[in-house]
Amino acid sequence: MADRPGDHWDRKVANGLAFLRRRLAGDYEVDEFGFDPELTDAVFHPLLRLLYRDWFRTEVSGVEHVPVDGPALVVGNHSGTVALDALILSAALHDKHPAHRYLRLLGADLVFRMPVVSELARKTGGTVACNPDAERLLGGGDLVGVFPEGFKGIGKLYADRYKLQRFGRGGFVSAALRTGTPIVPVAIVGGEEIYPMLADIKPLARLLKLPYFPVTPTFPWLGPLGMVPLPSKWLIEFCPPIPTAHLTDSADDPLVVFNLADQVRETIQQTLHTLLERRPDPFGP
């Protein structure tokens, strides 16, 4: 029998009440890192879905390069003044992947020193960007997401958009090598335009103990309204995986680590150029 007009909303209300009951009773599970899949699916991903699908009109390609099961290290470019690209990547990958896999993001120490933000990061599957945590996750068969540019990537000026910054010492490569995990480069176009950073007020950043203090076309001039991201068009492309299983004995070889990190960086940079040619208008349809 067909549902009556009110049945759909009745189910939504019933499911919502059941969710609240479980949360209040503590009847839910988190893993050793604090990841809460139920809360992520019920609250965080629906909010991010509105952003990546409706506001940023995101197109995702190459998802077939992300393994259906087993570990992989997803390495992306970082940008945008505020690290929305990591969250958008996580939600878009979960929705578009045939196995709806979760991406366990590695974040900077600063993220996990901030009240509320730290708890939210843990609940959505994040952990500190360090090799021991990365290796534990990869050893458990998880997808792990890392942005080696760090604050150098998200805090660069708009004039330097889509120019990859230095990848540091290649710690992410060592973690992949030690676990024999394939590396999946991913290029993200669109993040640079959401908060175009025109200047960095360094004295104010030092005073507030921040890596940078951005000046954008809307912030700080419009106050809280300046935090609304501009509706840029996003393209995300996952590249073919780079195998590492044959290099597990070279995890401590600086030359191997550097060459592999450089290969990942060059793959992302070239893919960014290709995507930018496909998207001539940053705010187009």
The residue count for the chain = 285
Report the pLDDT value the prediction gives residue 276, as an integer from 0 to 100.
97
Angle (deg, nearest 10), helices 254-278 and 171-179: 110
Rounded distance between C-alpha atoms, residue 34 and residue 177, angstroms: 26
Identify the band that residue 21 occupies on the pLDDT scale cut at 50, 70 and 90: confident
Report the pLDDT value the prediction gives residue 135, as an integer from 0 to 100.
94
As a whole number, the mean pLDDT across the chain is 90
Identify the band that residue 279 occupies on the pLDDT scale cut at 50, 70 and 90: very high
Rounded distance between C-alpha atoms, residue 84 and residue 92, angstroms: 12
CB 144 within 8 A of CB 52: no
Report the pLDDT value the prediction gives residue 252, as an integer from 0 to 100.
86
Q: What is the DSSP letter of 69?
A: S
Q: What is the DSSP letter of 68?
A: S
Q: What is the DSSP letter of 145?
A: E
Q: b/e for 159-188, b at 16 or more Cβ within 10 A?
A: eebbebbebeebbbbbbbbbbbbbbbbbbb
Q: Closest Cα partner for 190 from 65, 51, 64, 47?
A: 51
CA distances from 181 to 65, 130, 138 (A): 14, 16, 7
CB 186 within 8 A of CB 66: no
pLDDT tens digits, one per residue of 98-118: 999 999 999 988 889 888 899
Report the pLDDT value the prediction gives residue 170, as an integer from 0 to 100.
76
pLDDT tens digits, one per residue of 212-229: 999 999 999 998 899 999
Q: Average pLDDT, stretch 123-151?
A: 93
For the chain, the C-alpha Rg in angstroms (whole number) is: 20
Rounded distance between C-alpha atoms, residue 151 and residue 147, angstroms: 9
Q: Is the pLDDT of residue 19 over 80?
A: no
Q: Is the pLDDT of residue 52 over 90?
A: yes
Q: Average pLDDT, stretch 89-98?
A: 96
Identify the band that residue 54 occupies on the pLDDT scale cut at 50, 70 and 90: very high
85-89 LR contacts (CB < 8 Å, sep 24+): 85/147, 85/154, 85/188, 85/191, 86/145, 86/147, 87/48, 87/124, 88/48, 88/51, 88/52, 88/56, 88/58, 88/188, 88/191, 88/234, 88/236, 89/145, 89/186, 89/188, 89/236
CA distances from 114 to 129, 130, 160 (A): 15, 18, 28
